[in-house]
Structure 1
């Protein structure tokens, strides 16, 4: 059993490292193919690194490297993640940021298009996908992702929404440095980035589940075997067609757990009626697995 656990853990670590490498390719393509050539500021620490690099080139005789700035700016946030999130999360965040810094240096800046709107949208899509995929697999890309996750735990707001809010400073900076049209382009890119992140990072999206079943004990056991979720039981319900006795179960899951729910229902009661709806806001405790 211990050998099996070690193999599974090794597989998880390999998957996380592979995801970190995939993210580094996505952010490097977004930065060097779209954002930098289009004078579009990215979100978070990527955008802040761009800003410092631009200002150093304008006011000094040298231009600071964006990849190096990205790594240095993340150093204090590694400490925050180590204390507030988890040690394993921080280690893989460090790997992701290191990969990103190296890949940004290796992949050359390439002018794909001269249209700043295309640069803003496609840069946001590519980076949002890579960032959301990293978060979904339990690692962070550093920067505002760490701040957003800490705030998301305390406020319940989505990671994408917090990310957009924190990036107002980047948008204003883009207006002063490149002109106000580019501030709007940067805002468009940051908005697209945040929305794609929310689409991919499904762990934070809550869904309310109502199950009508005549096998409540079996359904509850199967769900709780696969997910750590509380379930409310309503006894003595009656079906209107056959007037047979039913039990109604209520629970809240994340969209990330949808597959586990489907497996549990197939194993326990394939004929149960299951209604699933998006849950806008949760009051009270909702268990979030540690990263």
Structure 2
């Protein structure tokens, strides 16, 4: 990995982790909303032990990372370790210099939604750098390795334990709201991940395929595939140009197609993941 790319990835990990810390500290923790994960379990444990949430989070994540290295191997790289340390460090800074005595808003559901959206956005940024903030994903991998349990199911089980402990500690009302947050967290992360990675597959049928291909090469800098086809009604030979572009690139292409060929036929599909040259 080159230095510029490494700096960029570690910077995004730091920014994403900061958002996670803000969502936890200012919106979730003040109202004892445990929506799964190590942060949720830390909120529960602070009701029983006289330690701040930053210290509890660091202790649990450190234990899980050690277990991960022992039983799984070196699958947890430097970016994950950085995120684990930064999460507790950010929480410590907030506890020390920017503490709050009351929830940000008086509405518990509003705090839940804000906390989930902010921390979910942060987690998405971290995940997109091939890192994590530690926690239940380590437990899920262990369950998968030794019990052949699906990783998604393993995370579900680990988070269900956290939500159950919150229900026991804080009562049915906050336990149910925490469970709602646990459900919403998955939806928010999936939504953000799709929004960051989604591309457009554009299928173009035109008599001016060469001009369209040259525009895509020179102005959008994407590759194309050209298929030979035959019109079903006219029986005339046709060229089909297929390309995959980003959302901004698609709008440039769409605008240009109208000027190149007024009779162009275009089919557009959303693609959730693209692997290969020019993409991740």
Moved more, 13-22 or 68-77: 68-77
Indicate the residue corresponding to 2:93 in structure 1. Answer: 106
Q: Does 1:20 align with 2:7?
A: no
- Alignment check: 8 A CA contact 2:54 2:89 kept: yes
Deviation, 1:42, is: 3.5
Deviation, 1:206, is: 6.9
Indicate the residue corresponding to 1:95 in structure 2. Answer: 82
- Mapped to 1, the partners of 2:195 and 2:110 lie a distance apart of 29
Deviation, 1:173, is: 1.6
Indicate the residue corresponding to 2:54 in structure 1. Answer: 67
Q: TM-score, normalised by structure 2?
A: 0.68
- Alignment check: 8 A CA contact 1:121 1:188 kept: no
Indicate the residue corresponding to 2:147 in structure 1. Answer: none
Indicate the residue corresponding to 2:166 in structure 1. Answer: 174
State which of 47, 53, 68 in structure 1 corresponds to 2:46. Answer: 53
Q: Deviations over 1:138-196 (max 9, x none)?
A: 332222356679999xxxx998x986665222222211111111012112222332222
Between the two proteins, the alignment pairs up a number of residues equal to 255
State which of 253, 258, 266 in structure 1 corresponds to 2:246. Answer: 258
Deviation, 1:264, is: 11
Deviation, 1:71, is: 2.5
- Alignment check: 8 A CA contact 1:236 1:245 kept: yes
C-alpha change, 1:80 and 1:201, in structure 2 (3 Å) is farther
Deviation, 1:77, is: 3.9
C-alpha change, 1:148 and 1:209, in structure 2 (3 Å) is farther
- Mapped to 2, the partners of 1:148 and 1:137 lie a distance apart of 20
C-alpha change, 1:48 and 1:92, in structure 2 (3 Å) is same
- Mapped to 2, the partners of 1:260 and 1:208 lie a distance apart of 10
Q: TM-score, normalised by structure 1?
A: 0.65
Unaligned runs of 5+ in 2: 145-149
Question: Based on CA coordinates, which of the two structures has the bigger radius of gyration?
Answer: 2
Deviation, 1:240, is: 5.3
C-alpha change, 1:263 and 1:13, in structure 2 (3 Å) is farther
- Alignment check: 8 A CA contact 2:200 2:247 kept: no
Unaligned runs of 5+ in 1: 1-5, 58-62
- Mapped to 2, the partners of 1:139 and 1:262 lie a distance apart of 30
- Alignment check: 8 A CA contact 1:43 1:170 kept: yes
Q: What is the correspondence of 1:163-242 to structure 2 with a 5 Å cutoff?
A: 166-202=158-194, 209=201, 211-213=203-205, 215=209, 235-238=228-231
Q: Does 1:41 align with 2:34?
A: yes
- Alignment check: 8 A CA contact 1:239 1:245 kept: no
Indicate the residue corresponding to 2:269 in structure 1. Answer: 277
Indicate the residue corresponding to 1:60 in structure 2. Answer: none
Q: Deviations over 1:20-56 (max 9, x none)?
A: 22223222222221111111114311112222332x3
Alignment root-mean-square deviation, CA: 4.8
- Alignment check: 8 A CA contact 2:228 2:237 kept: no
- Mapped to 2, the partners of 1:147 and 1:198 lie a distance apart of 20
